[in-house]
Amino acid sequence: MEMSLTEEKKQSNALPMVIVAGLFFILGFATWLNGSLMPYLQQILQLTPFQASLIIFSFYIAVTFTALPSATIIRKVGYKNGMALGMATMMVAGLLFIPAAKTQIFALFLFAQLVMGAGQTLLQTAVNPYVVRIGPEESAAARISIMGIMNKGAGVVAPIVFTALILSGFTDTVGTELSQNQIDDMANSLILPYLGMALFIGLLGFAVKKSPLPELEQDADDQTETKGQLKEALAHPNLAFGVIALFLYVAVEVIAGDTIGSFALALKVEKYSVMTSYTMVCMVIGYILGIALIPKFISQEAALTASAILGVVLSLGIVFADNNSFAIANGLSFILGGVQLPDPLMLLAFLGLANAIVWPAVFPLALSGLGKLTSVGSALLVMGIAGGAFGPMFWSIASGSSGTAEAAQSGYIVMLPCYLFILFYAVKGCKMKSWK
């Protein structure tokens, strides 16, 4: 018989935190591979910027259709079994990349991404409440920040692994027209890495199923139908505005993390597939600052306000900076090892600092006061991840179809209204407990 969460808390929260941290690493690794995969497939399949954005769209749009069903599944099978099912779905998605790579059919890649997104949604819906409810509410942002370090740390590793295993033999293809043999070789290089990832995720899912991870206790009222709870949950403005804030946040987070490779490709940067790592390094730094400062020195609301303001400033800087200037990279040459990257590209990576605190701050602020509605509220917030589907798409539309670096740069203006709404949520929206 499994111990309840209350009983386990009296002994130690260490083991659950370790297990959950591992799951966040897996989530991050699979998610931030998209930043390398998007420009890589753009090369292989000769996609337009808009078509390339569909690679990200198909991954994140799955959240829209599966977030609420995920909450229902979790109430029926439990949080731990929900995690295992989510990883089983992700394993299937990894295996789908094999026929996609063999046939080079764009629609198969999109379907594989859709299935991966569905698995991620189920896992996210199950694992996030663990982090919020495993300790005091006022320190939830710090715990989520720890998980964020694992998630974004995986985002640092994933593009490097992708580049080493897949792109290392094809760096001389940037800016050239590919032959069919080169296209075949580049597509086939995806097979073994995705097979290995699928098998690893499947084994981890089985291990979680058999692990001593405690089951979260659910109130009897939590067994009611999700549909009947939606209206009650959305009667809390801090939740409703929080869903919008997370939707817009994930949109800008994915723009910063996943389009940076395509922007680098347009700028003819040779190792474009590793650029996501730069954004993720900045996010890890931001998470570490969050752990150190929240709530001891700064409140969740104040940290969120500072993040939104920094996002506004950097967004304007990206749009108006000179593509031919390397001042920032030169100033950081002792860290970058002399790598020459244009200023707008560096500013885009710096958005990781602005983005790091947003999810850890918004999630507990939005769930505050929900009580028995926590599972439905969590599912609604996870639906905000669908913003990742639309962010790159809006960026590609704003960039136009020319594919030039200048057009891609101007498209980043779409981030400005997103950060302005996040600023509103930090200043007022999170404090609203009633619509009256």
Report CA-CA distances (Å) from 129 to 13, 79, 400: 14, 9, 40
Kindly tell me the sign of the dihedral angle through the C-alpha atoms of 321, 325, 327, 328: positive
Tally of structural domains, the chain: 1
Is residue 174 pLDDT above 80, yes or no? no
Within-domain flag for 136: yes
82 lies in a domain?
Answer: yes
CA distance 47 to 38: 10
Rounded to an integer, the average pLDDT of 342-363 is: 91
- 256: pLDDT strictly greater than 90: yes
Burial class (CB in 10 A: 0-12, 13-18, 19+), 176: exposed
Q: Which of 270, 346, 315 is nearest to 423 (CA)?
A: 315
Cis peptide before 295 (omega within 30 of 0): yes
User: CATH number, domain at 302?
Assistant: 1.20.1250.20
Question: Is residue 85 domain-resident?
Answer: yes
**Does any domain span residue 60?**
yes
What is the three-class DSSP state of 358?
helix
Mean pLDDT of 232-260: 90
94: pLDDT strictly greater than 80: yes
Please tell me the least confidently modeled range out of 8-17, 41-50, 322-331, 387-396.
Answer: 8-17
- How far apart (Å, rounded) are the C-alpha atoms in residues 80 and 255? 31
* Between 18 and 189, the higher pLDDT residue: 189
In a domain, 436, yes or no: no
Q: Which residue has the higher pLDDT, 426 or 225?
A: 426
Name the band, by pLDDT with cuts 50, 70 and 90, for residue 313: very high
Does the predicted TM-score (pTM) go above 0.85?
A: no
Which domain, by its residues, includes 206?
A: 5-431
Helix residue ranges per DSSP H, 271-338: 275-293, 300-320, 327-331, 333-336
pLDDT at position 138, please?
64
Is position 376 within any domain? yes
